[in-house]
Amino acid sequence: MTAPRTLFDKLWDAHRIATLGEDSDLILIDRILLHERTGGIALKSLEEQGRRVNDPAQVFVTMDHVVDTLPGRTDATIMPTGTQFITATRDAARRAGLTLFDLGDPGQGIVHVISPEQGIILPGLTLVCPDSHTCSQGALGGLAWGIGSSEAEHALATSTLRMQKPRQMRIMVTGILPPGTTAKDLALHILRRIGSSGAHGHMVEYAGPAIAALEIEARLTLCNMATELSAFSAIIAPDDKTAAYLAGRRLAPKGEDRAHALAYWRTLATDTDATFDREEVVDATQVRPMVSWGTSPQQAVPLGEVVPAFDPDQRLSTEDAHQRALAYMGLPPGQRLGDLPIDAAFIGSCTNSRLSDLRRAAAILRGRHVAQGVRAICVPGSTAVKAAAEAEGLDRIFLDAGFEWREAGCSMCFFAGGESFGPEERVVTSTNRNFESRQGPRTRSHLASPETVAASAVTGRITAPADLEAGI
């Protein structure tokens, strides 16, 4: 009889090549994702060492981070040196014989969006990418985590990484999310409760009836923000929804291989008596639509509440950090967030740019128009999402409402010297980080769901979708 194991234990054990001592193991890496911001650097460094990619068939490259998203884009970028990143990565990927989703390719898009779309990530696989939001892909039952450029070089050359096994944490989400709340609201609710370092050093497994009720794209949103909890990564056990989502995907198993895969996927669940280093229980029925007020994702409140004063008993931040966030955001304690006028609204990023996100935002915008003076932008997460949205007429809804409709990419999720929002402009955004200057020098970002972003764009102030519908 073997001891009960968690899902993470099973995946780790299945990929352990050797125990190396000092609490570290050599882990087999099944898939590697690269993007042009760091991928070209890793590939070039490998070439300069005279090394080759060990298994080119397992490596996938996309253009997403520094590419422009304006219609009619080319290799030229607003970001200084951006063109060099694109061309260097393209040339290195071609020399190495890697699968490349280049500009103009129907498979191009944000790395964490295209991987599930293409069936690159599958239940039971290990996957790494030099990007902290690689944890998104654990939503499909794979072991996916972010790495640095030097680790990417090692993985490319050897298909392995030396790893120390992290501790484990289960977040059990009971009940069902109320109507009008989303996985983004759940993610911000959890962040508010346990803090941005609440899962530091842990592998997080999300479980419970509320998680089982989520569709795959919602699970991707939830796992995406595990890095905001400082988690090593996150995972959700695969189920029938996972299998249905992957059916027919370009790189997903087909025919007899699919039958074998399904049989294996059914074994990928935490055993009943398995133990975790830490457990948290969250009541989904208590989750409400959320919005951030500060400069950390944990600094969030339900819509309708006010900006909080510092609470020394909460122990999630220091008073200095709290006061700095208030000063940066230009907010006093007690400020009602619903009274705040906004300058811009942004829908996009690896958190909330999938087809289901755009459908929900479009339902809010249909027959309405963005408030005067508000700049509103929608950036689909992939070229495939953009094409599907256009086939449904969603692009016309966004355009008629006054939104800009863009090409796929990371866009203004982060500022790297390219396009940005302005100093002290207040932006409601479906992205994952509200750090200082994240979306532009001194820009003030409020994290929210796509629905809240759409509703706020219409009213010109931070607005709950239900309040828009009620005419409040």
In angstroms, rounded to a whole number, what is the distance separating the alpha carbons of residues 15 and 426? 46
In angstroms, rounded to a whole number, what is the distance separating the alpha carbons of residues 429 and 435? 12
Pick the closest to residue 112 from 22, 226, 209 (CA basis). 226
Say whether 249 sits in a helix, a strand or coil: coil
Write out pLDDT tens, residues 53-71: 999 999 999 999 999 999 9
Write out pLDDT tens, residues 120-139: 999 999 999 999 999 999 99
Pick the closest to residue 233 from 320, 165, 305, 327 (CA basis). 165
In angstroms, rounded to a whole number, what is the distance separating the alpha carbons of residues 98 and 51? 15
Residues with Cβ within 8 Å of 396's Cβ and at least 6 positions away in sequence, in order, are: none
Cα separations in angstroms, 301 against 183, 189, 223, 289, 290: 15, 8, 20, 9, 6
Pick the closest to residue 111 from 220, 228, 272, 252 (CA basis). 220
Domain boundaries, the chain: 12-164, 291-470
Residue corresponding to tokens 């998104």: 136
- Please say whether the beta carbons of 390 and 399 come within 8 A: no
| CATH for the 291-470 domain, from 3.30.499.10, 3.30.930.10, 3.30.70.20, 3.30.230.10 | 3.30.499.10
Domains 12-164 and 291-470 share a fold: yes
In angstroms, rounded to a whole number, what is the distance separating the alpha carbons of residues 24 and 61? 29
* Tokens describing residue 332: 């006093």
CA max distance for the chain: 67
**What's the whole-model pTM score?**
0.97
Write out pLDDT tens, residues 241-257: 999 999 999 999 999 99
Write out pLDDT tens, residues 272-331: 999 999 999 999 999 999 999 999 999 999 999 999 999 988 889 999 999 999 999 999
Write out pLDDT tens, residues 432-471: 999 999 999 999 999 999 999 999 999 999 999 999 887 7
Architecture of the domain delimited by 12-164:
2-Layer Sandwich (3.30)
The number of angstroms, rounded, from the C-alpha of 309 to the middle of its chain's C-alpha atoms is 29
The number of angstroms, rounded, from the C-alpha of 394 to the middle of its chain's C-alpha atoms is 22
Q: How confident is the model at residue 1 (pLDDT cuts 50, 70, 90)?
A: low
Write out pLDDT tens, residues 344-371: 999 999 999 999 999 999 999 999 999 9
In angstroms, rounded to a whole number, what is the distance separating the alpha carbons of residues 64 and 410? 6
Could you give the angle at the alpha carbon of 28 between the alpha carbons of 24 and 30, nearest 5°?
Answer: 145
